[in-house]
A and B are shown apart, each in its own frame.
Chain A
Amino acid sequence: MRGASIAFAGIARREFLRFTRQRERFLAALVRPLVWLFIFAAGFRSVLGLSITPPYRTYVLYEVYVTPGLCGMILLFAGMQSSLSMVYDRETGAMRSLLVSPFPRWFLLGSKLLSAVLVAVLQVYAFLLIAWLWGIRPPAIGYLTVLPALVLAGLMLGSLGLLISSTIRQLENFAGVMNFVIFPMFFASSALYPLWRMRESSPLLHDICALNPFTHSVELIRFALYGQLAPLSLAVVLGCLLLFFGGTIFMYDPAKGLWRGRKGGRG
């Protein structure tokens, strides 16, 4: 058990070190949602009328509505970015040296995943701090209750990234992931507009959004930020987490999946 906690601490420390080494990455991760908050949300404020929907008790400004969605955006990008680093690591020896560690593979992958999520959660809090200065001020307790929601949503999105990374063979394919995973997931969700609005324009699109696990990540975060629990979203996020992480374990299993039936590089 002690060995395992040392291994986890080592993996987490490396993730943080890498993160602090790459200051541009931190800035990029912070600027992206801020651009949405400062520019996009300001522009949309007048276009979009919002009714009073839970967890909000009053009419809210569009900036307030979109904030949990942008938290989700940070987690989504971080999850996909860490999957990018997995693909990159696999092309160098870093991934191999991780997998030849004597600890079980599910533990190694889970540690890697959790470390990346903790780094992403820090980014979310940095964003929430700036949002607070911008006047978006959820109840104080919300900053505490949102933590488990962020970690869970981050784990779910990160394990999706892991699962995708295990099927990508080359780095270049990651651009495809951006186009076919990140953008559809983000736009077809409740991050930018409430689902009832969506139903008015297209019932089919509404159903797609309602099925999108990212919608449930956002709703879980939205309710948690106001000290409330969204049970359905929690169930969906947990279910998807189990499914995606299970798939990842399968893909990385020595006896099947990823490494099977494929030439292992130069012989």
Chain B
Amino acid sequence: MTQPSGAASAAPDADALVIAGVSHRFGRVTALDDVSFTVPKGAFCALLGVNGAGKTTLFSLICRLYDSTSGRIVVAGHDARRAPGKALARLGVVFQSRALDGDLTLAQNLAYHAALHGMGGRVARVRAGEVLELVGLSEKSGARVSTLSGGQQRRAEVARALLHGPELLLLDEATAGLDIRARAELLALIRRLISDEGVSVLLATHIFEEVAPQDHVVILHRGRVLADTTAEALASGGDLGAAFLAMTGAQA
């Protein structure tokens, strides 16, 4: 068995994520239709779409929960189908639903997830300390996850996703269910990860306030990419939400 953790190296300047002509069908239902876009290294990209647009399907394909019907997905220079181990090793994911075990402490949870990436013992403990510091939860290390607030749990999920030092962080509606303050804190954390840690981020959301004017935005609607530009260009001086509605409404 090859060692899939941190050792896997990629071309240093490879794009964090390349989606090329990806289509996926569930039986007769086309969930994704020829989707293509790129997230450059160290960049932020917001994937906007209403419920059912195909965001979760796309994320599942990137995580290789299942294979796409056609097309190519490349994570940090590694083809997800041909070298799944290497691609997954460069990928950190925050799922919509909770991945941490509420009955166990934060430290126990992180030890488990570090082990899933082949990190054990002291290496794992040091790394757990680092990521907790990063998300501002150092003092909660011994607390059971179920005792944390909603915002803290989400930040803990981000810490979990960062354990193995991924190049690309996927966040699937990570702010769902958070109050305004917790959401702002989480978004600030994500922006800081990009600027300070050089992580690339793909954030799926339907909340337009989470997108800044200069952000790279991909609009997914009914499985197709409707726009691949910046929020500024999309809103063209107006409101991003209105522009989005006008665009998706025209397609309905």
Contacts and interface: CB of A to CB of B under 8 A. Distances in A.
B111 interface: yes
A155 B237 CA distance: 63
Contact of A17 (B1, B108, B157): B108
Give 8 nearest A-B pairs by CB, closest first.
A10-B115, A3-B118, A102-B4, A93-B99, A93-B95, A259-B66, A6-B120, A101-B116
B239 interface: no
B113 A13 contact: no
Contact of B112 (A14, A108, A255, A264): A14
Most buried by B among A10, A97, A261: A97
Contacts of B4: 3, 102-103
Nearest to B4: A102
Interface in A67-104: 91-94, 96-104
B56 A96 contact: no
Among B8, B51, B108, the one with the most A-chain Cβ atoms within 10 Å of its Cβ is B108
Chain B interface size range:
35 or more
Interface stretch (B36-44, B85-93, B135-143): B85-93
Nearest to B6: A3
A261 to B, nearest CB: 5
A262 interface: yes
Contacts of B115: 6-7, 9-11, 13
B5 A3 contact: yes
Interface in B47-100: 49, 51-57, 60, 63-67, 84-86, 88-89, 91, 93, 95-100
Contacts of A44: none
A249 to B, nearest CB: 14
A137 interface: no
A263 interface: yes
Interface stretch (B11-19, B23-31, B180-188, B192-200): B23-31
Nearest to A90: B97
A103 B85 contact: yes
A91 B27 CA distance: 22
B1 A92 contact: no
A108 B84 CA distance: 14
A28 interface: no
B116 to A, nearest CB: 4
B114 interface: yes
Given A263-B31, A267-B55, A97 B65 contact: no
Q: Which residue among B27, B101, B112, B114 has the maximum number of chain A CB atoms within 10 Å of its CB? A: B112
Contacts of A94: 98-101
Contact of B53 (A1, A260, A267): A267
A10 B111 contact: yes
Contacts of A7: 115-118
Contacts of A267: 31, 49, 51-57
Contacts of B116: 7, 10-11, 97-98, 101, 103, 108
B51 A102 contact: no
A141 interface: no
B17 to A, nearest CB: 14
B113 A97 contact: yes
Contacts of A255: 66-67
Contacts of B99: 92-94, 96-97
Interface in A246-267: 254-255, 259-267
B9 interface: no
B27 A1 contact: no
A10 B57 CA distance: 29
A263 B5 CA distance: 30
A104 B31 contact: no
Contacts of B86: 102
Given A7-B116, A104-B85, A266-B51, A254 B64 contact: yes
Given A21-B104, A102-B88, A262-B26, A13 B112 contact: yes
A20 to B, nearest CB: 10
Nearest to B104: A17
A91 B99 CA distance: 10
A102 B120 CA distance: 15
B5 A261 contact: no
Nearest to A22: B103
Interface in B114-145: 114-121
Given A2-B118, A18-B101, A92-B97, 9 more contacts: A3-B5, A7-B116, A13-B111, A17-B104, A92-B98, A97-B160, A100-B64, A100-B93, A267-B54
Nearest to B49: A267
B149 interface: no
B95 A96 contact: yes
B3 interface: yes
A6 B53 CA distance: 39
Contacts of A98: 116
